[in-house]
Chain A
């Protein structure tokens, strides 16, 4: 079946540190891949996406590259800010059910000043 595995949190970093949150997936064919972010007290919002192999999604300084060979979609940011503190969810949308989303368990990021 389809599934998403994320690294467990919390991840605690100092401001301006480099961030990597690992995400791997299991799916048939070529799913679409997403990162959603949930700021405290809010619902989830789309951060970035990639719809085919080798695509790079980017937004707000965050990047993730769709790696078919390693079935991964790791989230990176070169210099985190306190305002990036949130929970990050990796998700996939299967080829045969494009309106469905399957989420990972989420990774909490805490950035200290």
Chain B
């Protein structure tokens, strides 16, 4: 199994701050994903990456960007945090049909 580690479990940031969420896998898989999880909405795909420096927008990319400089690390960036970005953020690695998830980062923007 793939171990997926997200750098923070809980974060509190101020409106307008630039926020970095980090995700690291312990293997060498190409496909990595960032989702946000909101009650009643399930998981929505923000961005995914299928290789180093390769990325594609998901369903809700507005207000976010990503960076993948090394294969094991995939970062989600909130350029200017807003209160509507308060959410649970989940990173996933999918070597095939099966996805492995990190524990999530609960971000609160005040």
The answer to whether A32 touches B97 (Cβ under 8 A) is: yes
The answer to whether A105 touches B99 (Cβ under 8 A) is: no
The answer to whether A49 touches B40 (Cβ under 8 A) is: no
Select one of A36, A43, A98, A106 contacting B96, CB under 8 A: A98
A60–chain B nearest beta-carbon distance, Å: 16
Interface size class of B (residues with CB under 8 A): 20 to 34
The answer to whether A104 and B42 touch (CB under 8 A), given A99-B31, A99-B94, is yes
B104–chain A nearest beta-carbon distance, Å: 6
Q: Does any Cβ of B come within 8 Å of A100's Cβ?
A: yes
Interface pick from B14-22, B43-51, B60-68, B72-80: B43-51
B36–chain A nearest beta-carbon distance, Å: 11
The answer to whether A101 touches B103 (Cβ under 8 A) is: no
